[in-house]
Chains A and B, each alone.
Chain A
């Protein structure tokens, strides 16, 4: 009897311990993943495509990173900087670096390398491209007072400065190399990251192998990775379904997810999240009658976003009804508050009646025609375009869609000849400064294809950007959102994209975030047998 009890207790203990054992990272294995786009160069400071991040980020570290296990994708975590402090006036940020971090060539990484990398980003020398320079316009200087300290001095306090350092593109390069040739990193790879570059066969794949001298002891767990360039989404799904690849880090459609779940059962795990990408409608204020806020409000009131979400989330990579921030993130408007804005009322009939009334008041006749310009990419431009045209028809508007080939699309938008057009925004991190920059006056942001000037909006943006108190910042963001989406209806938000990552159940240590640019260093990822 006693022995039976002992066996029983042992069995219970094993069952309780099993989840812990299953979660203990296992060393070994090669992670294979398709990447839908290939980077034109290796320089993170210059490029904007996720096609760079997915295969190249594992070779580098950044000063700070987003906590790889934070599903919201906003929580800062140490990386090369082990800690940081902010001065009482909010204008000076001091970072203490890890000691003993080595580049892949064996040399030590120190503060001069961080300074040189950030100088290249913020104050690029002539002839050197830096795509995110504008994001650091408030930085006065970057200093390296000692080998393990970096100091950033700002013009004024900023609520978003730490978030701006979380950019996955801000690879830390070697100062000595940058001094000799600032273009070197466009065609070469040499960082401090968990993986060492092995090869890049153009058009085919990138291979990395484990860095045995990685500064974060015990990591990485993988022996290596292979990023395979695959443009066709059906081929990517087939690769995961055929178990040639374990994960694709951008996202699949709902149909692909369902197909994989049906085919692979418990061999596949699905992670989903709202996505920090959204299609917006740019209404050209220079074209009549769209210079009238009543007409613009009518366009947003006509859209029943809640029903649209239910239907479109089944066939497209869209789902959440959102304001200027991704739902569920720290500065996102709560749904009940969002429902007070024009275009977000739950009563669709009341909303459409108001739209018709506004159009009539503005002198827009029943059956008024205009052209909606859309980008020639099937997902999700096509379903969203069709949905919106149908919704506008319900308030008596006759809309013709004109589809422009992707490479020429933004050039067409910049010409300002459109009436109403689809615009798009993807952020590397959910941060109001990044996500709301789009809506600033055209004189401040040339990527504002609504072509309007709104000093009130600009002031609200600056105020929230400099607010260090979270509640105050939220209040300012709410005011900003109300003005841009409701009162003036400068831009229309469609539906937030929805990120779906079905991956092999063998993949562990990777958490989905709203951004497909984050969490690609692969240092925490491991494979079970």
Chain B
């Protein structure tokens, strides 16, 4: 197992290197740069080519691509992400501010999704083809069909029109003011969590149905075991593995992918930072964010694989 873990950790390096090369080149292919985004987009008539050239020189954009790439990789090797080309602030500072919010939102949404998906999926499976099953399926199909940002917009409008209330506009850490924190984040967590709950519920139902048809389950029933014991001691452990994968991958996505939802709820998260970095052509910040999200995916993927081995003793890694 130790050898497997080491092998997986080492395999992450070429993957991340590939991502680094890809994102570096892709950003340079897109037309425009941070200097144009800063000085040409506000409608001013007094543009100065000298000023723009000076800015490009300051940011190192006049250097050959290979020099820019090696400088960046050198920084990465020391975990120095550099400065944002747009704000000149350290990138770690830019990301740190938004990370707390995105992480909390991802945790809340995943918790809501998991807490709903597992029991609903089991319920739908054991009550297959009854009205309970149909109700759960309608609930999940609606969740799959409804974009979370649209649901979020409806939530805000509903609260405005019915209660004449909108969530707070500014993020307050939970340890500073739990009420304001939850008043802001519960709504996007519900909107996003609903969608992921739908995905998880359908997966749970499907795997549970498969497992419940296995011989050992039939044997357990024949032995006279209570349904609750059959489910918790035998069926769930086997059925939950694919659900765990789905929820884990969704969690990784939530960390940087909720762009529109963050916009709707005015959340200062990593998703919004991503979009702004790209629209500003902030190469250093965009590259750092992509590497961060890629690392998350790899680490979470790896953690899920290790969790598999723990959950299912039949699985051995070499």
Q: CB within 8 Å of B: which residues of A?
A: 32, 34, 40-41, 48-49, 127, 129-135, 186-187, 201-205, 226, 228-232, 234-235, 238-239, 241-245, 263, 277, 405-412, 414, 424-427, 434, 437-438, 445-447
Contact = CB atoms under 8 A, between A and B. Distances in A.
Interface in B29-58: 30-33, 36-49, 51, 54-55, 58
Contacts of A447: 44-47
Given A48-B39, A132-B44, A232-B264, 7 more contacts: A133-B51, A135-B46, A202-B87, A406-B279, A427-B43, A438-B45, A447-B45
Interface stretch (B136-144, B161-169, B226-234, B302-310): B161-169
Interface residues of B, number: 53
Contacts of B33: 411
Given A230-B169, A234-B153, A41 B45 contact: no
Given A203-B272, A244-B166, A407-B279, A437 B45 contact: yes
B45 A407 contact: no
B281 interface: yes
Interface string B107-128: 0000000000000000000000
The 7 closest A-B CB pairs, nearest first, are A242-B166, A410-B40, A408-B31, A134-B46, A408-B32, A203-B268, A426-B43
Contact of B42 (A49, A232, A244): A49
B181 to A, nearest CB: 13
Contact of A203 (B31, B48, B97): B97
A129 B39 CA distance: 11
Contacts of A414: 40
In terms of DSSP, what is the predominant structure of the interface of chain B? loop
A40 B48 contact: no
A434 B304 CA distance: 61
B170 interface: yes
B44 A242 contact: no
Interface string B181-214: 0000000000000000000000000000000000
Contacts of B22: none
B273 interface: yes
15 contacts: A131-B48, A133-B48, A202-B87, A202-B94, A230-B266, A231-B272, A235-B265, A244-B166, A405-B32, A407-B37, A407-B280, A409-B32, A411-B32, A427-B43, A434-B45
Contacts of A40: 38, 86-88, 280
Contact of B264 (A135, A226, A235): A235
A411 B34 CA distance: 11
In terms of DSSP, what is the predominant structure of the interface of chain A? mixed
A446 B43 contact: no
A242 B94 CA distance: 30
Given A34-B169, A234-B153, A242-B164, A129 B54 contact: yes
Interface in B129-173: 153, 156-157, 159-161, 164-166, 168-171
A408 B94 CA distance: 24
Contacts of B265: 235
B87 A446 contact: no
Contacts of B153: 234
Contacts of B156: 235, 238
Contact of B58 (A127, A231, A405): A127
Contacts of B171: 204
B89 interface: yes
A437 to B, nearest CB: 4
A239 B265 CA distance: 10
Nearest to A414: B40
B32 A186 contact: no
A229 B171 CA distance: 12
